[in-house]
Amino acid sequence: MPNAQCPIPNAQFPIPHSPDMQTHNSDFTLTSNDSQRQMLLIPRSQRRSFFIQFSILTLLGWVVGGIASIALEKTIVETIPPSIFQQHLTWYSLGKSFSSNLIFALIFGADQAIVVRRYVSGWLWLLATSFGWLIANSVSTAWISYISAIAASSNLTLSANQTVILGILSTFLYIFSGIWLGFCQFMVLRRYTKDAWWWTFLPSVSFFFISISIWLLSVVQDFIPEANRTQILYLSGQGLTAVILGVVPAIGLCRLKKSRHTNGISSSS
């Protein structure tokens, strides 16, 4: 009589899953996705409106701040008697430049803070942006003036290669100065976000794209009618600068994630 065949011990059989187990797995997946969305500084549902508002208000701040700074300089020139600023020309120039840059930085930072205050402290963002912009602008202006002074004091006609090298050096120093603005803003963002160290270099990215845009305008300037060339180049450069200063930080803010200890921003901020 043949032996009865025993079942194979290691045979694998499908194990039925209960509906409750499948429900728990799907709930866990949804909860995980929801928690990741909640960790974003700018929720996905608000990204588009935030991007548009931040870009527009940055553009508005650039225009209004520029007009206000020019108006302030004109007021200072018309108010102070010529005899005074001729005697104190250095202090007069420094005071006029600082005052115009300060009013511009405050308006520029305030316009951005109107949108950003829903996610971080608006007052801190205003102070950080204004202070950082003043430092970045002062540093870049000082370096570029220093390089120009060296070139002017050489008493020699610069060759084409030397001119290009000095231009590249000035552009690099301008781009590098953006780190000051990024660092000041990072000191605010680090209170509300995690792994935001890269923000320190983000304004330098903006300055890099601005430099590329200005260079492209200089390349195509021969195609612009000479009668309106200066005005078109100036307005185009200002417009591209304002757009880049709004778009690049807006994208960066949408990439940031909230810190776990951050539960929200009070309406008073």
- For 33-88, how does the pLDDT look when each residue is reduced to its tens digit (9 = 90+)? 445 555 889 999 999 999 999 999 999 999 999 999 999 988 887 887 767 766 66
The full length of the chain comes to 269
Please determine, for residue 6, whether its predicted confidence score (pLDDT) is greater than 50: no
CA distance 235 to 269: 35
> If you average pLDDT over residues 228-235, what whole number do you get?
91
CA distances from 9 to 14, 16, 195 (A): 15, 19, 52
| Alpha helices, H only, the chain | 19-38, 47-79, 82-87, 89-116, 122-153, 160-176, 178-189, 202-219, 229-255
The percentage of the chain sitting over the pLDDT mark of 90, rounded to a whole number, equals 54
Give the residue, 173 or 25, on which the prediction is more confident. 173
* pLDDT on residue 227: 85
With cut-offs at 50, 70 and 90, classify the pLDDT of residue 193: very high
CA atoms within 13 A of residue 243's CA, in its CB half-sphere: 9
> If you average pLDDT over residues 182-188, what whole number do you get?
97
Please determine, for residue 267, whether its predicted confidence score (pLDDT) is greater than 80: no
| Count of other CB atoms within 10 angstroms of residue 186 | 21
> If you average pLDDT over residues 102-119, what whole number do you get?
96
With cut-offs at 50, 70 and 90, classify the pLDDT of residue 153: confident
Quick one: which of 79, 109, 70, 116 has its CA closest to 250?
116
Please determine, for residue 169, whether its predicted confidence score (pLDDT) is greater than 70: yes
Produce one character per residue of 27-53: b if its CB has 16 or more CB atoms within 10 Å, e if not.
eeeeeeeeeeeebbbbeeeebeebbeb
* pLDDT on residue 66: 94
**Model confidence, pTM:** 0.80
* Angle of CA points 183, 268, 101, to nearest 5°: 40
